Amino acid sequence: MKWSKEAETAIKKIPFFVRKKVVQKVETHVGQKGKALVELSDVNELKKIFLSKGGMEKEIKGYEITSCFGSAGCPNSANSVTRLSQDIEKILEAENILAFLKKTVKGDLKFHHEFRVSLSDCPNACSRPQIADIGIIGAVLPGVSGEACSLCGFCVTACDEKAVELDEENQRPVIDVHHCLRCSKCISDCLTGTLTEMQNGFRVMLGGRLGRHPRLAMEIHGIYSHDQVLEIVKNCLRFYKCNSQNGERFSHILSSIDPII
């Protein structure tokens, strides 16, 4: 659907974490009126509805799950999160977080009450998993195989973190696992197969948030399989529902237990 310049300018002022929902709602509203162009008046009309008492609550489903565009062919994709995202959404639906929020939150529900999960195919993290309740990033741990290294240096050039060096004496690459972000670019650029995939899975981080007191999510050390991530999500949701009071964010609950988190 086409948008007028004024409408586009107005929608860009909407916070990014709800902008997609608002755009969809505006276009549905405009389509129902038989129009093909979104105008500023349409945006303002929906804004008035959203900000009215109980208006926002009608659009809330209790959780939000977002992912990057890696599945569409992004060259930086380390490990696809598409299937994982679908399975996590099934878990979120089964937990009926909306009913839980309606029961525990005093007053109208707002978007910041929703439990947020964000997934990204690679460490570039376009979907901003670092500020979600649960953030997930596709990961591949590189290792050195028995194949001879040509010392071409392509792996060194490929690594933005400077986590790969060449050991010319032993004729092999050396990986600094403390700086490696598990993006797999060095493996992709290795012409001889010397660098290979040692572990494929996902990095997991917990407790990110924006708002008045923003905090980046803290990463759980390690790389986790598809099924392990699902178990982590289930455990986090159980913990959240057992401890959240009046819509308290998952991140705040973690912080109250351990200020370091």
The confidence score (pLDDT) of residue 261 equals 46
The pLDDT assigned to 13 comes to: 85
pLDDT at res. 152: 96
Q: pLDDT confidence of 19, banded at 50, 70, 90?
A: confident
Q: Are 84 and 119 in contact (CB under 8 A)?
A: yes
What average pLDDT does the structure give for the chain?
A: 90
**What would the mean pLDDT of 212-233 be, rounded to a whole number?**
95
User: Which one is the CATH code of 141-199: 3.20.20.70, 3.90.79.10, 3.40.50.300, 3.30.70.20?
Assistant: 3.30.70.20
User: For residue 56, what pLDDT band results from cuts at 50, 70 and 90?
Assistant: low
pLDDT given at position 29: 83
Please give the pLDDT value at position 49. 74
Is residue 44 within 8 Å of residue 97, measured between CB atoms? no
All structural domains of the chain with their residue ranges: 1-52, 141-199
Q: Does the global pTM surpass 0.85?
A: no
For the chain, count helices (H), then strands (E).
Answer: 9, 9
pLDDT in tens, 25-40: 888 888 888 899 999 9
Taking only the tens place, the pLDDT of each residue in 90-123 is 999 999 999 999 899 888 887 788 999 999 999 9
Query: Thinking of the domain 1-52, which architecture would CATH place it in?
Result: Orthogonal Bundle (1.10)
Least confident residue range of 6-10, 153-157, 210-214, 236-240: 210-214
Task: Give the tens place of pLDDT for each residue, 43-55.
Answer: 888 877 776 665 6
| CA distance readout (Å), 47 to 3, 4, 54, 55, 62 | 16, 16, 13, 9, 20
Cα angle 131-136-139, degrees, rounded to a multiple of 5: 130
How confident is residue 259, by pLDDT bands cut at 50, 70 and 90? low
